[in-house]
Amino acid sequence: MANGKRFASIDGIKGLALIAVIVYHFSTPSLGGGFIGVEVLFVISGLLTTSSLLRGLDGDGLALGRFYMRRLARLLPALLVMTLAVVAAGRFIDTDTLVGIRGQSIAAMTFSYNWYDIVSGGSYFANAAPQLLRHVWYVALLAQFLLVLPLLVAVVHRIAPKPLRPFVPALLAVASAVAMWIMYVPGTDPTRVYFGTDTHAFGLLAGATAAWVLHDLPERAPSGDAGRHGIIARMLPWAATVALCGLIALAVLIRQDQSAFRGGLIAAALLTLVLLIGSIGEDSWMRGLLEWRPLALIGKYSYGIYLWHWPLFVLLQGAFPQWRAGMQWALWSLALALTVMFTALSWRFVERPAARIVDGLFSARTARRPRTAAPRMVSGQGTSAAAYAGWHSAPNAHSAQRGDGHAVVVPGNASGGVFVGAASGIAQPAPSQPQMSTAPIRRSSAPMSEASGIAKPTLYRSAQGSQRFNTMGMAVNALVAVVVAVLLCVGYGTALAAAPAKTKLQISLEAQQARMAAQQKENARRAAEQAAERKRQQEQAAAQADAQRKAAQAATVDGTQVTAIGDSVMLDASDAMSKLMPGVNVDAEVSRSVLVAPGIISQLKASGQLRKYIVIGLNTNGAVTVADFEAIANAAGEGHVLIIVNGYGDRTWIPVGNQAASDYVKAHKDSAVLVDWNTAIAPHLDWLYSDGIHPVAPGPGADLYAQQVHDAIVSWQKQHVSD
């Protein structure tokens, strides 16, 4: 299997994985389990990187300096440019994206974002703010693994017997998966187990295990087992097909809950291994799908696409908030187009030059010292794949190099050995004497061949003219690079200086919360006075007061008869509710769950502050069931009316809670009424903040929320209160 042919199928798998991740990021409800694409990428990275290291051990050794420099050149330059660029852009597009950006950007550029996010706690306001760099946790975890992997390979290779070596990464993978399973607590934030290197390294370690197993396979099946292994080879493409279907099913079915963190991600890693082993063989008909050029191109440039797609999408949401309502396709299309453009620019002017600099540095060093005859691994390709190819080839055959650089299997000698390689992938043993070529000399942009370590001849048009032309081109390129770097750094610095401490939503919520606290204190004082006054007047004019109150309620809402309990959405609208229904007692809190509502109601009831109409607005922060509303009604007791406000947003549990609210109201028409906030706000998404959930306050969004609550109470009064 030649380099280009063999690894095109792996590029196709990477392309499929990246598509799943992008769909998940752009539209979570469309593919709720698309985040398993990251697991697929982890497994591939573990497989290829470990194969490269094992090949190095077979040849000249690990060459740790070269390994680390190449990986750093692959990951860091593009990450730096992306971080500086999107932070600078956030200064002009949406300053909400810059909240906390100093720590986030430093963590991103030092490959520590996953642990930074874990330690910082991921507060409610951090989640409400659009985070430009949240996706680079993946790059951080990968870099941390690459830092440790060579040391692990070297130690295991040195102290463990050959048959036991694959068991070491396998046991570590099991330990990591078990840690995720145990540490995940259903119903809580999964950031710790999903971002943690210790709890989410099993995909990378599974790939490393597979690389070790394939590396230790003989290069062809023993002659006595040829028939059995031929059957296995024919079954592998079918197994790969089943694995691909399984991965698609996981992407569609699982969510960020125990279905993922207690088995789903582990299953995705194992299915990826089956897909890889069953599709990279020369005889696998799965390669026809996976080598489809658009898919392979996505995989080839997957790193740049992954880096750019998310921050561009976040910035576009801030630039065009009105597109979130009915024009999501425009957001997605523009985000994808810009992603392609910036990925191409990054590859052409950042990633490829960085790789060439490092390759040139080490190639020059290699040319100054003798090379061993053992073949070396280049770009993550090695004996693991060669051995695998041997088990898929005819018994008495060996590989020969074709003119196009691909290996082919041809009839061999009596030994029947199989070795598969490519000029650009695996170097053949160097001849004792270099051979002169009579072919025309061509110009080459690479002064040194990594496979042979022998300088390639280069044709120069004229000594002085060519040198002057090249020098001028290099100077222009260097000048452009310096100008761009300065602009990015200046833009980044000004963005940090202008970064707000809080988002506009957070500022509004905190102001509303302060006013609500003062209003609650005033309401409590008034409640005490009114209770005493009502007690004195009750015996004198009970009948008259009751009749007047009913008549007034038929036309409007007396806020002193309304208790409102809700989350941050209600908190955002609390001022508007107080203006429309003076005297209303609003008790709203950020991140409040419906589970605490019965306790709040019991406390208000015990203190004599629970009023007839109880507004419940708790459908935002978690799934709500009919049983939750029944618990609230039981805590309130008879004589109260529940005014239930449903929720609006892209959270998967909101439709479930909305259905539960409708079902409860239908079953309790005499003591409950529904406020359909979901339907009311849908045509006016520009009345919401950029998170697409909270109404702008003060503003028409908050006013609409208050009006919907008011109208629902009036509607119930007209049906149930008689003159």
Q: Say how far apart CA 577 and CA 574 lie, in whole Å.
A: 5
pLDDT at 193 over 80: yes
CA distances from 252 to 33, 138, 649, 670 (A): 6, 21, 20, 41
Q: Say how far apart CA 138 and CA 177 lie, in whole Å.
A: 17
Mean pLDDT within 550-558: 62
pLDDT at 552 over 90: no
Sign of CA dihedral 227, 166, 14, 73: negative
Mean pLDDT within 294-309: 94
pLDDT at 155 over 90: yes
Lowest mean pLDDT among 13-27, 114-128, 207-221, 269-283: 114-128
Mean pLDDT within 517-543: 79
pLDDT at 591: 87
Lowest mean pLDDT among 52-61, 172-181, 326-335, 457-466: 457-466
DSSP letters, 408-464, are EEEE--TT-------TTTBPPPPPSSPPP--SPP---S-SB-TTT--BPP---S-HH
Q: Which residue has the higher pLDDT, 130 or 318?
A: 318
Global pTM reads 0.68
pLDDT at 441 over 50: no
Task: Please count the other Cβ atoms lying within 10 Å of the Cβ belonging to residue 578.
Answer: 20
> In the predicted model, what is the mean pLDDT of the chain?
80
pLDDT at 452: 33
pLDDT at 474: 65
Closest CA to 11 of 207, 424, 300, 301: 300
Q: Say how far apart CA 426 and CA 422 lie, in whole Å.
A: 5
Mean pLDDT within 619-638: 92
Mean pLDDT within 513-518: 85
Mean pLDDT within 215-228: 59
pLDDT digits (tens, 9 = 90+) for 26-83: 887 788 899 999 999 999 999 999 999 999 888 877 888 889 999 999 999 999 999 9
Closest CA to 644 of 635, 657, 634: 657
Q: Say how far apart CA 137 and CA 194 lie, in whole Å.
A: 10
- List phi, psi (to 5°) of 588: -125, 150
- List phi, psi (to 5°) of 688: -105, 160
pLDDT at 273: 94
Lowest mean pLDDT among 484-488, 543-547, 630-634, 653-657: 543-547
Lowest mean pLDDT among 507-511, 536-540, 577-581: 536-540
pLDDT digits (tens, 9 = 90+) for 495-506: 888 888 787 777
pLDDT band at 668 (very low <50, low <70, confident <90, very high): very high
Mean pLDDT within 705-716: 92
pLDDT band at 555 (very low <50, low <70, confident <90, very high): low
Mean pLDDT within 702-723: 86
Q: Which residue has the higher pLDDT, 590 or 395?
A: 590
Which of the listed ranges 390-399, 479-488, 545-554, 624-633 does the model predict with the highest average pLDDT? 624-633
pLDDT at 180: 95
pLDDT digits (tens, 9 = 90+) for 254-289: 988 888 999 999 999 999 999 998 887 777 777 778
pLDDT band at 226 (very low <50, low <70, confident <90, very high): low
pLDDT digits (tens, 9 = 90+) for 340-363: 999 999 999 999 988 888 888 877
Ordered structural domains, the chain, with CATH: 3-216+224-313+325-368+478-498 (no CATH), 504-531+549-720 (3.40.50.1110)
CA distances from 7 to 150, 295, 299, 373 (A): 22, 12, 10, 25
